[in-house]
């Protein structure tokens, strides 16, 4: 039984390693394409359409009118989030990709949308940019609407008006981003399984060798450290060069750990015509699609279970009765 636990533990560790490899690539793509910022723009757009009379749409409006209102709200959301007090530093990778795709409205040196915003900061921005959110704004000096940003009561009034929708649209944006990253993860799992011939059944067969199995188990602490490091960096969109360098180093570290496990080897196929659909590779895609957090949780539970079973196993081997 103890051998089965060790095999399951080693297999979970290998799956976590492979999932970390995919996670690094996913984080790089999310950062490069600024997906968090894009979904934040979507969230603020939805909020504006629900709290501001200037961007609201009514049932029965022609499709063209609805599209115009959507575009107007999105443009205002981009304006709010491009405020110099919020926008992070310029990302070289995003600019290069935008140039390749010939996106309009982007300039060299332009700033990206932030990846997050607090409801208080949004309320201040709405007040500063004079966006009508239907709030009961305290009276201010005539022709001095821009100065109401200095009035705490005005900011509080705007914040109360948008607070009801803020958490809802942010949660919806987070769910959409999570779904997008899940699809990227599935694509990455498919490329890893079929493009580099990772067969889960072959991995299990290799782990039947005690030396390989124990070698993987000895690396669990390092694997956990890699996972925690990647989790800590998630959500941080660094500058382009730094993002690539960090991703390259993380990939190199994970590949080094994979080679040291000796549980399997990555073999890149020469042509996609050579791909073979095997049960083991399909199983790899399914298992890796569960994501690194899943395998990290499984690994932790197996480590705890192994620690509880091992003393009993040793007592039984010494001829002592199990409690």
- pLDDT tens digits for 141-159? 444 454 444 567 778 888 8
DSSP sequence for 141-189 = -TT-GGGGGG-HHHHHHHHHHHHHHHHHHHHHHHHHHHHHHHHHHHHHH
> Please, what is the average pLDDT of the chain?
78
Q: Mention every residue, 6+ apart, whose C-beta is less than 8 A from residue 314.
A: none
Residue 115 has pLDDT above 70, yes or no: yes
Residues 6+ away with beta carbon under 8 Å from 70: 45, 49, 57
Q: Is the pLDDT of residue 124 over 80?
A: yes
What is the Cα–Cα distance from 245 to 248, expressed in whole angstroms?
A: 5
Per-residue pLDDT, averaged over 256-280, amounts to 79
Look at residue 107 in the predicted model and tell me its pLDDT: 47
> Which of 113, 34, 38 is CA-nearest to residue 79?
113
pLDDT at residue 269, rounded to an integer: 77
Residue with tokens 């997050």: 116
Find the mean pLDDT for residues 22-37. Answer: 85
Burial class (CB in 10 A: 0-12, 13-18, 19+), 239: middle
Selection from 169, 76, 178, 84 nearest residue 119 by Cα: 169
Class of residue 179 by CB neighbours under 10 A (exposed 0-12, middle 13-18, buried 19+) = exposed
Evaluate if residue 119 carries a pLDDT over 60. Answer: yes
What is the predicted pLDDT for the residue at 188? 93
Side-chain-facing half-sphere of 164: CA atoms under 13 Å: 8
When pLDDT is cut at 50, 70 and 90, the band that residue 318 belongs to is very low
Tens of pLDDT along 78-110? 888 887 777 554 454 554 555 555 444 544 344
**H-only helix segments in the chain:** 2-32, 35-51, 63-81, 92-100, 119-128, 152-190, 200-206, 210-218, 220-233, 240-261, 279-288, 292-317
Top pLDDT among 193 and 315 is at: 193
Please report the pLDDT score of residue 295 as a whole number.
94
> For the segment 196-217, what is each residue's pLDDT rounded down to a tens digit?
888 999 999 999 888 888 888 8
CA distance 42 to 36: 10
Look at residue 148 in the predicted model and tell me its pLDDT: 47
């Amino acid at each position: 039984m103890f051998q089965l636990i060790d095999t399951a533990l080693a297999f979970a560790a290998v799956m976590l390693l492979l999932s970390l490899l995919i996670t690094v690539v996913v984080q790089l793509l999310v950062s490069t394409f600024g997906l968090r910022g894009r979904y934040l723009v979507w969230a603020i757009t939805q909020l504006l359409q629900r709290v501001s009379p200037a961007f609201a749409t009514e049932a029965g409006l022609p499709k063209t009118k609805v599209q115009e209102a959507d575009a107007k709200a999105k443009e205002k959301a981009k304006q709010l989030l491009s405020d110099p007090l919020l926008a992070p530093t310029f990302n070289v990778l995003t600019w290069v990709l935008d140039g390749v795709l010939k996106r309009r409205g982007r300039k060299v040196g332009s700033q990206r949308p932030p990846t997050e915003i607090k409801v208080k900061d949004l309320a201040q921005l709405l007040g500063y940019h004079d966006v009508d959110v239907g709030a009961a704004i305290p009276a201010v000096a005539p022709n001095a609407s821009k100065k109401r940003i200095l009035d705490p009561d005005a900011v509080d009034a705007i914040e109360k008006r948008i607070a009801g929708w803020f958490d809802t649209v942010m949660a919806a944006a987070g769910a959409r981003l999570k779904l997008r990253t899940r699809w990227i993860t599935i694509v990455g799992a498919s490329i890893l399984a079929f493009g580099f011939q990772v067969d889960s059944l072959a991995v299990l067969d290799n782990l039947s060798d005690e030396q390989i199995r124990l070698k993987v188990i000895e690396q669990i602490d390092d694997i956990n450290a890699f996972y925690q490091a990647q989790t800590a960096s998630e959500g941080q969109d660094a500058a382009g060069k730094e993002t690539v360098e960090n991703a390259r180093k993380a990939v190199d570290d994970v590949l080094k750990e994979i080679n040291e496990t000796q549980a399997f080897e990555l073999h890149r196929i020469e042509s996609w015509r050579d791909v073979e659909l095997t049960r083991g590779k399909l199983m790899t895609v399914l298992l890796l699609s569960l994501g690194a957090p899943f395998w990290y949780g499984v690994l932790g539970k197996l480590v705890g279970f192994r620690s509880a079973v091992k003393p009993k196993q040793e007592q039984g081997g010494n001829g002592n009765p199990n409690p």
